[in-house]
Amino acid sequence: MSALLIRGRLLSFKRAPLGRDDAASYTYEADGAVLMVDGTIRASGSYGEVKDEAEDGVPEVDHRPHLIMPGFIDTHLHFPQMQVVGSYAANLLEWLNTYTFIEEQRFAEAEHAARIAVHFFDEMLRHGTTTAVAYCSVHKTSADAFFAESLKRNTRMIAGKVMMDRNAPEALRDTAQKGYDETKQVIADWNGKGRNHVAITPRFAITSTPEQIEAAGTLAREFPDLYVQTHLSENHEEIAFTCSLYPEAKDYTDIYARYGLLGNRTLLGHCIHLSDREADVLSEAGSVAVHCPTSNLFLGSGLFPLRRLTGREKPVRVGFATDIGGGTSYSMLRTLDEAYKIQQLLGERLNPLESFYFATRGNAEALSLADRIGTLEPGSDADVIVLNASATPAMALKMQAVTTLSEELFLLQTLGDDRAIAETYVAGEPAKSTLGKGA
């Protein structure tokens, strides 16, 4: 049996906060503890109570005065784009064609994919992200490398081999049949192995023929418990090109709807420029619009209308994500900061409680996994992070002026990055302080 008790201030959300002072939406324990046994949270609450539940001799780590939260969840990023981050382009399609579709070709090679996978997981854990939803490249080798590294790290990850069979260099194209067959093989090899989940991953309608989108729909019907991920409505030029390729569809969303790709496990990256009709369709399907703020700003794609999507009569479910390598930071803290600024530009508010809800429980709900991750509830996976709001001199100085939990969270998201993650626990084991130590 492996057991560890960690002590600190606890914060875990029960539901979406309704406002800046919605104290009923979370539990906060000023002197709290989490008891982690064999990869699962056995107990969480006040230090005294949790300590009583622990068997004699269970080791303790005292993280006071830091904040203990569930690990961050990133609902959209691209594993083969670590070396694409910060590529200078005017817009999405130029960025894809000039850099991304060149770089992803390197993932045909198993050795390269395995080397980048090590870096990928190091960065996730350094930044306090314990679950991510990833696109691999078109090559099965890239998915194999990703999942093998995830198995080694014992992380709960969701990923898929990208399906793409047109409008890309030949070395990045499969076919409708090959995309179907290889996705099935990835499912057979990796789904449910360790804590790995496979996502059916047609890249987007531009890079898939109707035959391939149909094959993805067939997979979604054959494996109804699997996630589906793709991109939707990111950039005006992309939308116009997409609609020209599928003239029979009512709009971009209708392409995916027609082929049975919209369900309540479907994650749609970006969703910036949706019509009301499209938002209705997503709402009825229970599909998730994934907001990628640093990417949307970097590529100049547009301002995600969070309130228009969540506040409507037929609300759309949303998740938050980095979208590495269109995105510019691995940090969910940096991501929350940019999400806040986008809402400012739209004349809307995004309060810090809501932001941290989205990065944890909210994203877990977007993945229909809130019973496993995203909270400190007993029975959940022991994927936990420790946040230090005084991690840098500038943060420590500002922290002197902080008097409330909301202000502390706001400071963390405004000035914080990987330096604010004091520790990351994966399945109850320290995974940040041990990076590079071969543990």
Site residues, Zn ion (CB under 5 A): 269, 323
Q: Which is nearer to Zn ion, 160 or 269 (CB)?
A: 269
Q: How far is the CB of 299 from ligand GUN (least distance, A)?
A: 6
Q: Which is nearer to ligand GUN, 48 or 169 (CB)?
A: 169
- State the Cα–Cα distance between residues 174 and 164, nearest whole angstrom: 6
Site map (CB under 6 A) of ligand GUN, residues 298-337, x = contact? -------------------------x--x-----------
Site for ligand GUN in 195-254 (CB under 6 A): 203-204, 231, 234
List of E strands, 178-282: 196-202, 227-232, 266-270
Chosen residue from 42, 78, 153, 398 binding ligand GUN by CB under 6 A = 78
Structure tokens that stand for 4 in this block: 């560890």
Q: Which is nearer to Zn ion, 33 or 324 (CB)?
A: 324
Q: How far is the CB of 270 from Zn ion (least distance, A)?
A: 7
User: Strand, helix or coil at 228?
Assistant: strand
- State the Cα–Cα distance between residues 411 and 152, nearest whole angstrom: 34
Partner in contact with 432, chosen from ligand GUN, Zn ion, none, beta carbon below 5 to 8 Å by kind: none
Q: Indicate the residue whose CB is closest to ligand GUN.
A: 326
User: Strand, helix or coil at 395?
Assistant: helix
Binding region for ligand GUN (CB under 6 A) out of 92-100, 190-198, 352-360, 400-408: 92-100
Q: Which is nearer to ligand GUN, 4 or 272 (CB)?
A: 272
CB distance 191 to 230 below 8 Å: no
From the list 300, 320, 304, the residue with the least C-alpha distance to 76 is: 320
Site for ligand GUN in 50-69 (CB under 6 A): none
State the sign of the Cα–Cα–Cα–Cα dihedral 209, 210, 212, 213: positive
CB distance 253 to 278 below 8 Å: yes
Partner in contact with 424, chosen from Zn ion, ligand GUN, none, beta carbon below 5 to 8 Å by kind: none
Helix axes 176-190, 210-222, angle to 10 degrees: 30
Radius of gyration of the chain (CA): 21
In which residue are the tokens 């729909």 written?
217
Q: Which is nearer to Zn ion, 80 or 269 (CB)?
A: 269
Strands 384-387 and 288-291: unpaired
Q: Which is nearer to ligand GUN, 95 or 425 (CB)?
A: 95
From the list 236, 220, 312, 311, the residue with the least C-alpha distance to 270 is: 236
Partner in contact with 75, chosen from ligand GUN, Zn ion, none, beta carbon below 5 to 8 Å by kind: none
The residues, ordered by sequence, that sit 6+ positions from 343 with a Cβ below 8 Å of its Cβ are 306, 307, 349, 350
In which residue are the tokens 């047609």 written?
202
Q: How far is the CB of 361 from ligand GUN (least distance, A)?
A: 25
Residues contacting ligand GUN: total by CB under 6 A: 11
149 contributes a contact to ligand GUN by CB under 6 A: no
Q: Which is nearer to ligand GUN, 131 or 230 (CB)?
A: 230
Partner in contact with 234, chosen from ligand GUN, Zn ion, none, beta carbon below 5 to 8 Å by kind: ligand GUN
Q: How far is the CB of 106 from ligand GUN (least distance, A)?
A: 15
Q: Which is nearer to ligand GUN, 238 or 417 (CB)?
A: 238
Chosen residue from 12, 44, 75, 100 binding ligand GUN by CB under 6 A = 100
State the sign of the Cα–Cα–Cα–Cα dihedral 99, 273, 271, 294: positive
Chosen residue from 229, 295, 375, 406 binding ligand GUN by CB under 6 A = 295
Q: Which is nearer to ligand GUN, 162 or 426 (CB)?
A: 162
* Residues 83/271/338/308 CA torsion (nearest 10 deg): 180
Chosen residue from 43, 73, 92, 342 binding ligand GUN by CB under 6 A = 92
Q: Which is nearer to Zn ion, 79 or 358 (CB)?
A: 79
DSSP string, 281-327: HHHHHT-EEEE-HHHHHHTT-----HHHHHSSSSPPEEEE---TTTS
Q: How far is the CB of 137 from Zn ion (least distance, A)?
A: 13
Which residues here bind ligand GUN, judged by CB under 6 A? 78, 92, 96, 100, 203-204, 231, 234, 295, 323, 326
